[in-house]
Chains A and B, each alone.
Chain A
């Protein structure tokens, strides 16, 4: 390792290795696909294309590992390089992924209106919005209008959350 730009295990090679593992797992799973009696005499089975893809995938990943130059971004042709990483806000992205996952659970438990309003409000707040008028004004009223549009105008049934169903006892 001479510098951050020179590395045998650069981003391309790591990507190639991961893709190689994915291909091996895909190839193994291909062997688990059910075959019917007599399929061995067929020209084309459910395993044919997956086998071809496994082989092509392995060749491509090996090519990437072998042909990759020692610097991930040899000709400044990459969309992102290591200098971009300094400006990346991983914490904020993590918070949003947690928020989106919570929103997924919220849709089941709290229902569309409450879950979406809370999702938007927390989302605005995470991005730095602190004005109460925006935090509350752009979440609850907007979601209620959207909910009315879906349920009343487009006649789409949206289940109330489990929480409300258990509270109301139905």
Chain B
């Protein structure tokens, strides 16, 4: 392990990679501060840039963008109550009231220090957990992988928002369907190409990610114009107040940061859960644990209420790298995009990554820590200047983002057909958004589709076409049971809730 850490350190500390972390954090913070554009879009926009880099630098850049985007999202949550992404919604609960009390500087500093604590603790936990899990998963066979992918896909659907479970499943299936377009890698026959040579290679992952997120979100911004927040953010920043935090305050929030980081990390590790759920859960936990007088402060500018979600969402972001790096299963939409990028580099994520490409494995982990340091040393003092960039009016910003999305895809294939396919997919993505279908499961299904089919094929071939392979290996069986439970649990809960409501109504009537 020490060898690996040293390899990671030497790769992450290379001047080019240090620059990648800084640039990534800076760009991520900027994009994260734009309401409506989250980490997924920020990373999608970066993919074409990373194609020109070596895989380690590319992954380091994307990890930096991920952190930066979450940090940027917190900034806009605190200053103007406009979360840049869903994982920073909870930050606004207490961050914004603090800013209204004239303590925006303190809130920003606390958010940065909490993020740093969350990031640091989770990087340490990742350092221990990832290699251990990678070693265990080296014994995995095709059937185990197939079952594991089922867990990943079902979990993502299960963690979808209220009333969206069924829709998330449908989007996963649509993603899997899209993954079957093109020449079948196992047998070599064309599937769903309609005789078009442009479809023989299947849909490009980059095109799909750009169309559904970067382009889709920007076009949603045009369809449903939001208030231009650049002015509000600038004026809020002109009077942020002191960034100093007293010793008593540190004493009060330190245990909160510690608890939330640990909770956040473990939630991040679960496939499908992620920063948003981690932030909500830690906020709820801290509110319950707080003494009575402190409990009343929640929602009115509580320091604990700000520190808890900030530590948890950063720790969860790092945690979501565990299944990605060790099992090749993305834990969230953002890591799904990173998985796609790794596959595009010709690298097979999974347990072998730890053995075959230790420099990528370790440098990503080390760079996470570097990213946290960069955020606290560079981005925190630079926040007023970064937000100046937001003074660029939306009238200029939106066409620029569309241009970067289209050019990003065009410069990889130099084929204008891709531009037209991208526009068509973006239109479908808008309709799906309007019908409240989550799009992250679609991307996840698409990315995992090829791998899942390959492993199912191998498993069935080995077991001579018998589905008994599910029962033969304990790991496969365990994963299959987990995925069935994850699939059935939301339906059972819904039925149970309906039964409870009916029962309560009956009791009311009788009463």
B166 contacts which chain A residues (CB < 8 A)? 60, 63-64, 67
A22 contacts which chain B residues (CB < 8 A)? 174
1/0 contact trace for A45-85 toward B, CB 8 Å? 11011100100110011011001000011110111100010
- Chain B interface SS verdict (over half): helix
The answer to the question of B199 belonging to the interface, with a C-beta cut-off of 8 Å to chain A, is: no
Question: Are A128 and B416 neighbours in the complex by a CB distance under 8 Å?
Answer: no
Listed stretches B76-84, B216-224, B344-352; interface member: B216-224
A74 contacts which chain B residues (CB < 8 A)? 163
Contact of A78 among B163, B170, B398, B456 (CB under 8 A): B163
Contact of B437 among A15, A33, A46, A159 (CB under 8 A): A15
Question: Are A60 and B169 neighbours in the complex by a CB distance under 8 Å?
Answer: yes
Question: Are A105 and B416 neighbours in the complex by a CB distance under 8 Å?
Answer: yes
Q: Which of B162, B191, B395 has the most CB of A within 10 A?
A: B395
Residues of B in contact, count (CB < 8 Å):
60
Question: Are A53 and B177 neighbours in the complex by a CB distance under 8 Å?
Answer: yes
Residues of A in contact, count (CB < 8 Å):
66
- Chain A interface SS verdict (over half): helix
A19-B170, A92-B223, A107-B416 known; A79+B163 contact, CB < 8 A: no
Question: Are B163 and A33 neighbours in the complex by a CB distance under 8 Å?
Answer: no
A43-B460, A79-B433, A134-B396 known; A93+B170 contact, CB < 8 A: no
The answer to the question of B231 belonging to the interface, with a C-beta cut-off of 8 Å to chain A, is: no
Report how far A120 CA is from B395 CA in the complex, Å.
10
Question: Are A36 and B223 neighbours in the complex by a CB distance under 8 Å?
Answer: no
The answer to the question of B187 belonging to the interface, with a C-beta cut-off of 8 Å to chain A, is: yes
Contact of B191 among A11, A46, A92, A116 (CB under 8 A): A46
Report how far A30 CA is from B189 CA in the complex, Å.
12
The answer to the question of B453 belonging to the interface, with a C-beta cut-off of 8 Å to chain A, is: yes
Q: Which of chain B's residues has its CB closest to A39's CB?
A: B187
B189 contacts which chain A residues (CB < 8 A)? 33-36, 46
A103-B406, A104-B423, A119-B403 known; A33+B191 contact, CB < 8 A: yes
A159 contacts which chain B residues (CB < 8 A)? 414
Question: Are A77 and B170 neighbours in the complex by a CB distance under 8 Å?
Answer: no
Contact of A57 among B170, B410, B456 (CB under 8 A): B170
The answer to the question of B419 belonging to the interface, with a C-beta cut-off of 8 Å to chain A, is: yes
The answer to the question of A108 belonging to the interface, with a C-beta cut-off of 8 Å to chain B, is: yes
Question: What are 14 sample pairs from A and B whose C-beta atoms fall under 8 A apart?
Answer: A14-B435, A15-B435, A33-B191, A36-B187, A42-B465, A60-B173, A61-B170, A64-B166, A80-B434, A90-B223, A107-B419, A119-B403, A127-B398, A128-B395
17 further interface pairs, Cβ-Cβ under 8 Å (given A42-B465, A46-B191, A79-B433): A14-B435, A26-B192, A44-B186, A44-B461, A45-B187, A49-B456, A50-B180, A53-B177, A53-B180, A60-B169, A64-B167, A90-B223, A93-B219, A93-B430, A104-B423, A127-B399, A128-B395
The 9 closest A-B pairs by CB, nearest first: A43-B465, A123-B399, A104-B419, A129-B395, A127-B395, A46-B184, A77-B162, A43-B460, A44-B457
Task: Give me the interface of A with B, judged by CB distance under 8 Å.
Answer: 11-12, 14-15, 19, 22, 26, 29, 33-36, 42-46, 48-50, 53, 56-57, 60-61, 63-64, 67, 72-75, 77-80, 84, 87-90, 92-93, 96-97, 100-101, 103-105, 107-108, 116, 119-120, 123-124, 127-129, 134, 138, 150, 154, 156, 159
